[in-house]
Structure 1
Amino acid sequence: MPPGGGSWDHVWSGSGVKVYVKERGDIVSVCDTAANGHSAWTTVDRLNPDIEGYKMYARGGKGTCKSHSAAEGGRYNLAEGGQYTLNFEGRGDSGGSVAGFINDH
Structure 2
Amino acid sequence: MQTRLDLYARGLAEFGQDKALTQQLPITGESNNSFGDTLTKAINEVSDTRDRAGDLVQRFANGENVELHQVMAASEEAGIALDMMIELRNKVVEAYRTVISMQS
TM-score, normalized by length of structure 2? 0.24
Tell me which of the two structures has the higher relative contact order, counting C-alpha pairs closer than 8 angstroms and 6 or more residues apart.
2
**Structure with higher strand content:** 1
TM-score, normalized by length of structure 1? 0.24
